[in-house]
Structure 1
Amino acid sequence: MSITQEVARRRTFAIISHPDAGKTTLTEKLLLFAGAIQIAGSVKARKASRHASSDWMEIEKQRGISVASSVMQMEYRDCVINLLDTPGHQDFSEDTYRVLTAVDAALMVIDAANGVEPQTIRLLQVCRARNTPIITFINKLDREVQEPLNLLAEIESHLGMDAVPFSWPVGMGRSFGGVFDIRRDRMRIFRAGQERRGNQDDLIQGLGNPAIAARFGDAFVKANEEIELINAAAPAFDQSAFLAGRQTPVFFGSAINNFGVQEVLDALVDLAPKPGSRTALQREVQPDEPKFSGVVFKVQANMDPAHRDRVAFVRVSSGRFDRGMRLKVSRTGKEMRPNNVVSFLSQRRELLDQAYAGDVIGIPNHGVLQLGDVLTEGENLQFTGLPFFAPELFQAVEVKDPLRIKQLRIGLTQLGEEGAIQVFRPEAAGGALLLGAVGQLQFEVVAHRLKHEYGVEARLMPSRYNMARWITAADPKVLRKFMDANAANIAYDVVDAVAFLASSPAQLRVAQELYPGVEFHAMREHGGQVFGQNA
């Protein structure tokens, strides 16, 4: 096949949701229905013998939550699907944000009992800012939940887009009979606890089929009335409005019972877009260009504890990747020839020979690649949009055993480079390293990983700081003067970008008033070269 044909086969999307909406369960069932795995893990019990295929980190298995993004590739209906599972917990929103820069669509999972929750709204705002197309799956219909019409209204009011139902539930909780496929005019019957993949015996054709009314009684009468109302009042599905992020197709089901999963998987193939162009500072990069380019949107240390490796997750932006090809890192100008590049099915990896625009590949390396790095066949490109946000929580960190100080610094450097935590090195001599986070759970995860991956018992202590701003100035002398005058509040992050640490908003305002020539930034992009908005 040509590059253009291979690109057209790709579908790359992220699954997003509020915690506990069933996102990881749905991820597994998509893999199951596509034939990528043969048995689904259990995400309920911390000590279960099986865990979610997409949760590989030890702390994830203990807590039953996802705290890191996972990448899975599978083939279905002659399409190559790259599925990125993201953390649902708001404390890891930075990781999720960066993943959303690497996808062409999103699958939003909503708990039918709780409706649209705060974290869902935040993630949707990111998607809307990027005009990312969104498919919605309303989950847990096997429980007593909100009325489907109310859920549709909530999606439209909170998320600011038209919701177009592709399927509709018949009953809920104990009376849940299944979902009616509105577009195919057929009903899929609910059978609890069975892993049935598109079994034709579970289908009844036709909304007016008396067999449905006879079998499901009042639940079907109610569903039938709602479907007629939807057909009369809801807007017709418009592919261009969907691709622009103004309309979302909605599916109902129960992921844990495999219900509605088949329809979602088909929708990803039929509706989600193929890889599109990517914007670099230098030019617009088209996916079917002959030459390879790709951007590192995630770095993960110790995916294989036995080898202490660091894997750079690269979204292929254009062209074709061939194993062993000569690549240039735009940030450093250095060349590399990766020979052990892998594709992913969660913790299972396979060596790959080729990849195309839209694919996500893993390049094991020893610190050569950082978040936001661009790989090309020689052209100097810089893709934008991988931000680090100013942390809102700080803790000082020391090692309990002074002989392990080197391991502590190695561990924090690697965890900082992968974006798990922000690490600041005070300019003042003798100052303890500072950890900056968006949420408290990040500190717990880092302490756990330091202990289990690097053999370091870390002591986390309160810090007097609660704000950070990266600083720049047009005149280097002005910046140096400010740094000398505020030496006790100056620190360097993991890429040596300079930051001003403040104990209060008042302290920050005073610094801004006294030094108008210094710019204070609430966001920086990868490498420290490009800064975001002032604050």
Structure 2
Amino acid sequence: MSIVDDIPDAIKTVPKAAVERDLGKEVESRRTFAIISHPDAGKTTLTEKLLYYGGAIQEAGAVRARRGAKSATSDWMEMEKQRGISISSTALSFAYKNFTLNLLDTPGHADFSEDTYRTVSAADNAVMLIDSAKGLEPQTRKLFEVCRLNGLPIFTFCNKMDRPALEPLELLDQIESEFNLPTYAVNWPIGSGDTFKGVYHRPRREVHLFNAEAKDGKAKKGEDKSTKGLEVLSVDDEKLESLIGAELHAQLMEDIELLDELGGELDLQAVHDGELTPVFFGSGMNNFGVQLFLDSFLGYSVRPRGRDLLGGDRVEPTDEGFTGFVFKLQANMDPRHRDKVAFVRVVSGRFERGMRVTNARTKKAVLLSRPSQMFGQDKTVLDEGFAGDVIGLNNPGSFAIGDTLYMGSRKVLPPIPTFSPELFAYLRNSDTGKYKQFQKGVQELLGEGAVQVMYSRDAVKQDPILAAVGQLQFEVVQARMLAEYGVETTLEPLPFAVARWVVGGWDAIDAAGRIFNAQCVKDIWGQPVLLFKNQWNVDQIVADTPEIGELSPFSIPPAAE
């Protein structure tokens, strides 16, 4: 029996060629998702194993930071190649079992950026990757809250079970208690570390055996006659106890009884509503449990969703008119050319190369003559796309993050929120003779949205204030300013860790009068922002200065009228 049995028959039985011109079936066959994790949880490895199954790459290679080692397919920026990390968010598309999967690859390093938050806004599903030895970690918690804000279904993969790990019940309890999110174990680990023997797959009461010496985590044919043909067997098979040992077998039987008591059926509606997370166990590095997860994910995840429009209307993915929005800008993806790419998430209709659309913000018509699909640093020309797809467009300054592109009647999607940064620093130009290059680099790099930029209310102070979630984003800006614009820069850190937008605007600032223990700056939209050293100062000003009104941890950029 194929493990793709979880996929609805209506999708599974339709040949790809037969649905190319059927908008509804194209939408039904798409899954767009992001992977969220803490550093070193194995995100890059899992990403490449998924691409490997989709035939998108021929080798699922590990990422190494040392010079001369190969880089991951999804890593392309020079700093990413040097450090073996993912700094930028990349869109990767691949086909698998009559599905088109769009994987939004988010940074997994210790310091991530708001770019990551925006990428999540373009996803329909989220995969939460957990290091089974460590459980929930800080970056995972931050990204989870953004996923929840976007109402995404969340699928959990507990990785590195071939290493010493926390008890599976403890991992489930962490998710349920910290996130107030019920769990459903789709499969269950048999041991961990040196005693890891595989997983029990509940939907079909099967045991998938693990072999650490096999490249794909399963026994090779002819390698051991006693296990030949027994990589997958029924939990009731009499050979199971001898294969995994009496102690683990007894523990498995006890665990199965407990799981059945907790609930035998997966509530898909609760999953789609973000009120229940299916949980899987495996080892990405050993490629064990990855295909089992992927096949189940196809059956459980949601197709591209409809989205609310400003003004109260709604656009559905099967609506004929094209609608999309820009969620990411990237400059200089090709070091040989100073190119710019705008990443557009298709929301509805059919995208076609050469089509003319309207930018809701500028109200100008834009000819999309050179659309592309990104795969790491490689670009291929894209002739068409459907809801859920991510398209790269040449961007000679025509687009901004959050822009709505549409055909037909006017449509405007809500702006993408801007979240509170945690680090702040003035960016100084070390060579006044390169003023023009400095200004150009700042405008182009900050225009990508990798970090926020703010300015002092004092007109005399013209140096931009970089505002980021992590220190590495500052280093990225400095490195790219030098490598791509020939400008050396210095940073002057500011002693703040919290930003709050003043909902009442400048009138509230003026009404409040002198504000202590905070610095007032303005964002790129001219909106007032207060910078604080800590949350205690925020609470203090709210209590002592009621005239300031509401302070928000995020901001909604001005919408196109």
TM-score normalised to the size of structure 2?
0.86
Whether 2:398 is the aligned partner of 1:380: answer: no
Aligned partners of 1:45, 1:464: CA distance in 2, in Å? 32
The more displaced of 359-368 and 255-264 is 359-368
Question: Offset of 1:17 from its aligned partner?
Answer: 1.1
SS in 2 for 1:381: coil
Deviates more, 1:248-257 or 1:221-230: 221-230
Corresponding residue for residue 11 of structure 2? none
1:481 to partner: Cα distance: 7.0
Q: Comparing 175-184 with 512-521, which one deviates more in the overlay?
A: 512-521
What residue is the counterpart of 1:243 in the other structure?
Answer: 272
Q: Deviations over 1:294-339 (max 9, x none)?
A: 0111111222121121211111010000101011100011111111
Matched, 1:354 2:387: no
Structure 2 counterpart SS, 1:154: helix
- 1:259 lines up with 2:288 in the alignment: yes
* Matches of 2:500 and 2:269, distance apart in 1: 40
Could you give the per-residue CA deviations for residues 147-167 of structure 1, whole angstroms, max 9, x where no partner exists?
122222222222222221222
Q: Which of the residues 229, 233, 245 maps onto 2:262?
A: 233
1:268 aligns to 2:297 (yes or no): yes
Greater shift, 65-74 or 505-514, is seen at 505-514
CA distance in 2, matches of 1:350, 1:232: 51
Q: CA deviation at 1:39?
A: 0.7
* Distance across 2 between alignment mates of 1:180 and 1:490: 56
- For the residue of structure 2 that corresponds to 1:257, the secondary structure is coil
Report if aligned partners of 2:64, 2:70 keep a CA contact under 8 Å in 1: no
1:533 matched residue in structure 2: none
Is the contact made by 1:298 and 1:312 (CA closer than 8 Å) also made in structure 2?
yes
Aligned to 1:525: 556
Report what 1:344 is aligned to. Answer: 374
Q: Does 1:153 align with 2:173?
A: yes
- What amino acid maps onto 1:326 in structure 2? R
Supply the AA of the counterpart residue of 1:173: G
Contact 2:511 2:548 in 1 (8 A): no
Q: Shift of residue 365 of structure 1? A: 0.8
Q: Does residue 125 of structure 1 match 2:145?
A: yes
C-alpha distance in 1, partners of 2:496/2:126? 36
* 2:520–2:531 Cα contact (<8 Å) kept: no
Q: Does the CA-based 8 Å contact 2:342-2:392 persist in structure 1? A: yes
What is the deviation of 1:275? 1.0
Match of 2:202 in 1: 182
Deviation at 1:226, TM superposition (A): 1.1
Q: CA deviation at 1:289?
A: 0.5
Matches for 1:390-405 after TM superposition, within 5 Å? 390-405=420-435
CA distance in structure 2 between the aligned counterparts of 1:419 and 1:244, rounded to whole angstroms = 30
Aligned-pair CA distance for 1:509: 7.3
- Counterpart residue identity of residue 152, structure 1: L
Q: Counterpart amino acid of 1:285?
A: V
CA distance in structure 2 between the partners assigned to 1:435 and 1:502 by the alignment: 12
CA contact (8 A) 1:465 1:501 kept: no
Task: Give the Å deviation of 1:353.
Answer: 0.5
* 1:114 equivalent in alignment to 2:114: no
Structure 1 stretch displaced more, 116-125 or 321-330: 116-125
Q: Distance in 2 between matches of 1:328 and 1:83?
A: 27
In structure 2, distance between residues paired with 1:390 and 1:411: 24
Asked whether the equivalents of residues 490 and 498 of structure 1 are also in contact (C-alpha less than 8 Å), the reply is no
Against the structure 1 CA distance between its residues 404 and 182, is the aligned structure 2 distance closer, same or farther, given a 3 Å change threshold?
same
Contact 2:323 2:349 in 1 (8 A): yes
Shift in alpha-carbon separation, 1:480–1:153, aligned structure 2, 3 A: closer
User: In 2, are the aligned partners of 1:287 and 1:357 still within 8 Å (CA)?
Assistant: yes
2:212 pairs, out of 168, 192, 217, with 192
> More displaced, 45-54 or 318-327?
45-54
Contact 2:32–2:124, Cα closer than 8 Å, also in 1: yes
Specify the alignment match of 1:457 in structure 2.
488
Structure 2 partner of 1:163: 183
User: How much does 1:472 deviate?
Assistant: 7.0
CA distance in 1, matches of 2:320, 2:175: 41
Match of 2:451 in 1: 421
Deviations 1:340-382 (A, max 9, x none): 1111222222110100011111111122111100000143322
How far apart, in 1, do the equivalents of 2:279 and 2:546 lie?
A: 52
CA distance in 2, matches of 1:206, 1:99: 41
Matched, 1:442 2:462: no
Identify which range, 415-424 or 248-257, moves more after superposition.
Answer: 415-424
SS of 1:328's partner is: strand
Q: Deviations over 1:233-261 (max 9, x none)?
A: 23520111111111111111100000000
Alpha-carbon distance change, 265 to 369 in structure 1, aligned in 2, over 3 angstroms = same
**Structure 1 range deviating more: 424-433 or 315-324:** 424-433
Equivalent in the alignment of 1:368: 398
Match of 2:242 in 1: 214
Q: Is the 8 A contact 1:164 1:247 kept in 2?
A: yes
Matches of 2:539 and 2:56, distance apart in 1:
52
Corresponding residue for residue 42 of structure 1: 62
Structure 1: how far apart are the matches of 2:159 and 2:509? 55
TM-score normalised over the length of structure 1: 0.90
Q: Distance in 1 between matches of 2:549 and 2:191?
A: 61
Matched residue SS, 1:92:
coil
Give the match for residue 76 of structure 2.
56
Instruction: Please say if residues 512 and 518 of structure 1, whose CA atoms lie closer than 8 Å, have aligned partners that are also in contact.
Output: no
Query: CA 1:287–1:94 in structure 2 vs 1: closer, same or farther (change >3 Å)?
Result: same
Deviates more, 1:72-81 or 1:168-177: 168-177
Which secondary structure state, in structure 1, belongs to the residue aligned with residue 204 of structure 2?
Answer: coil
CA contact (8 A) 2:210 2:231 kept: no
The 3-state SS of whatever aligns with 1:256 is: coil
Whole-angstrom distance in 1 between the partners of 2:476 and 2:310 = 35
Q: Which position in structure 2 is the counterpart of 1:81?
A: 101
The alignment covers a number of residue pairs equal to: 525
Q: Which amino acid aligns with 1:2?
A: D
Aligned counterparts of 2:547 and 2:409: Cα–Cα separation in 1: 38
In structure 2, give the amino acid aligned to 1:272. S
What SS does the aligned partner of 1:366 have?
Answer: coil
1:260-299 equivalent positions in 2, closer than 5 A: 260-282=289-311, 283-299=313-329
Instruction: Kindly indicate whether the alpha-carbon contact (under 8 Å) linking 2:504 and 2:548 is maintained by their aligned counterparts in 1.
Output: yes
Quote the offset at 1:268 in angstroms.
Answer: 2.2
Change (3 A) 1:516 1:379: farther
Q: Which runs of 5+ in 1 are unaligned?
A: 531-535
DSSP-derived class of the 2:285 partner: helix
Q: Which amino acid aligns with 2:432?
A: P
